[in-house]
């Protein structure tokens, strides 16, 4: 090979090396450019729903609402977040449904009786006085007996732009707190009494003068003499309100609100815009919270019930059977009247009756006599 050939020829082994070098140089330039460019996050921001409850910060119901919110937030993996606000933060407790329907709030945690002024049928989905079932059996009617479809039909009739779920089959609500003990239904006549929903119709039929108030306004009204007696829901809520400071007679058991559930509502447009898996989380978190709420209730209600009797020296008595009997007769009158006035009311009542005839019949035949078992182990009920 001549000197000129040696100088001008490129060895075969040099070509890959040059490619490697050039590739590295290009990559290095690209990396430098990337470092000077603004950083862009690829993580998607979560969808945030603003939800308000109908409950004060100290109410046990507020804790139960938070149990639902916690389950949604943890299961959604950061893609959906509910920011929860206590009752009154944006709207008053009785205004939650309207606020969610209009989009002022994205979600709400309350009870159907708080908007029964729009339709008395609403109360049948939470605290219809007497249908033959207890709360767990009636919640089963909502999810397995056609109740949810009837509820959705009601929302459409009222043009409420919401999607709703139900949770927490609540124990029977006490007849309530009285300054003087009531021994029969005659004692209810003329009494200024607080309750809500169809229970108001029932107690009015029995002669009481009913005032409908949200929970946080009850004790101040009792203290000022605006009302003579009241019920809210359970021993824990009542004790935290300070019911024991304004009355000393607590009457347990009643048909006026023999069952109730939380209603968890979302603005329909916001709800329907979610992907299917997040919508499923909203629904099934209600089922999960239903169990958690019940466990929380049993632990707290029983402790506060004991404390009311032993620490606060409240006179706790079982509501007389004569009042139960009078309530049943009053409900027959109200149910017929409302069914005659509104075919849809009758449609819902008939659906509940068909369900209870089958489901409650099975339960009554099958259930053990738990009171007998309790008294065998612990002795006669009482304080």
Tell me the mean pLDDT in the region 222-241.
Answer: 93
Query: The dihedral of CA 326, 178, 306, 302: what is its sign?
Result: positive
Burial class (CB in 10 A: 0-12, 13-18, 19+), 208: buried
Q: How far apart are CA 124 and CA 159, in angstroms?
A: 18
How is residue 37 written in tokens?
């460019």
With a cut of 50, say whether residue 3 has pLDDT above it.
Answer: no
Contact 150, 347 (CB under 8 A): yes
Residue 330, classed as helix, strand or coil, is helix
With a cut of 50, say whether residue 51 has pLDDT above it.
Answer: yes
360 φ/ψ sector (left φ>0, alpha ψ -120 to 50, else beta): alpha
With a cut of 80, say whether residue 93 has pLDDT above it.
Answer: yes
> What is the number of other CB atoms lying within 10 angstroms of the CB of residue 368?
7
Its pTM stands at 0.86
Mean pLDDT of the chain: 89
pLDDT digits (tens, 9 = 90+) for 279-329: 999 999 999 999 999 999 999 999 999 999 999 999 999 999 999 999 999
Burial class (CB in 10 A: 0-12, 13-18, 19+), 358: exposed
Residue 304, classed as helix, strand or coil, is helix
Contact 363, 141 (CB under 8 A): no
Contact 304, 235 (CB under 8 A): yes
pLDDT band at 39 (very low <50, low <70, confident <90, very high): very low
Contact 60, 236 (CB under 8 A): yes
With a cut of 90, say whether residue 164 has pLDDT above it.
Answer: yes
Q: Which of 101-110, 186-195, 209-218, 364-373 has the lowest average pLDDT?
A: 209-218
Domain ranges of the chain: 47-170+260-299
Tell me the mean pLDDT in the region 189-207.
Answer: 93
pLDDT digits (tens, 9 = 90+) for 108-127: 999 999 999 999 999 999 87
The pLDDT, as a whole number, for residue 171 is 94
Architecture of the domain delimited by 47-170+260-299: 3-Layer(aba) Sandwich (3.40)
Strands 315-318 and 47-53: unpaired
The pLDDT, as a whole number, for residue 40 is 44
Tell me the mean pLDDT in the region 174-178.
Answer: 96
């Amino acid at each position: 090979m001549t000197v000129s050939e040696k100088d001008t020829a490129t060895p075969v082994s040099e070509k890959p090396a040059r490619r490697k070098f050039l590739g590295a140089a290009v990559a290095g330039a690209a990396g430098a450019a990337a470092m000077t460019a603004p950083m862009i996050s690829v993580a998607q921001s979560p969808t945030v729903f603003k939800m308000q409850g109908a409950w004060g910060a100290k109410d046990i119901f507020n804790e139960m609402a938070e149990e639902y919110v916690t389950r949604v937030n943890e299961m959604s993996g950061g893609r959906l977040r509910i920011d929860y606000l206590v009752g009154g933060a944006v709207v008053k407790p009785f205004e939650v449904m309207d606020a969610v329907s209009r989009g002022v709030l994205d979600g709400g945690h309350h009870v159907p009786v708080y908007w029964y002024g729009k339709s008395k049928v609403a109360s049948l989905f939470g605290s219809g006085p007497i249908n033959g079932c207890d709360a767990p059996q009636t919640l089963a009617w909502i999810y397995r007996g056609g109740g949810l479809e009837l509820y959705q039909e009601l929302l459409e009739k009222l043009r409420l732009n919401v999607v709703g779920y139900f949770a927490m089959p609540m124990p029977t609500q006490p007849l309530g707190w009285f300054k003087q003990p009531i021994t029969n239904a005659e004692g209810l006549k003329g009494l200024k009494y607080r309750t809500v929903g169809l229970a108001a119709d029932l107690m009015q039929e029995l002669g009481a003068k009913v005032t409908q108030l949200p929970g946080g306004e009850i004790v101040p009204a009792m203290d000022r003499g605006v009302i003579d007696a009241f019920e809210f829901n359970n021993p824990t809520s009542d004790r935290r309100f300070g019911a024991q400071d304004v009355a000393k007679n607590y009457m347990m058991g009643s048909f006026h609100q023999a069952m109730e559930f939380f209603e968890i509502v979302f603005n329909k447009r916001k709800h329907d815009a979610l992907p299917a898996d997040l919508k499923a989380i909203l629904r099934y978190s209600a089922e999960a919270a239903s169990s958690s709420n019940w466990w929380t209730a049993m632990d707290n209600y029983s402790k506060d019930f004991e404390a009311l009797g032993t620490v606060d020296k409240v006179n706790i008595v079982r509501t007389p059977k004569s009042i139960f009997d009078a309530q049943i007769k009053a409900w027959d009158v109200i149910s017929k009247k409302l069914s005659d006035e509104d075919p849809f009311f009758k449609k819902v009542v008939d659906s509940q009756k068909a369900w209870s005839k089958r489901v409650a019949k099975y339960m009554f035949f099958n259930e053990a006599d738990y009171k007998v078992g309790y008294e065998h182990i612990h002795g006669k009920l009482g304080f």
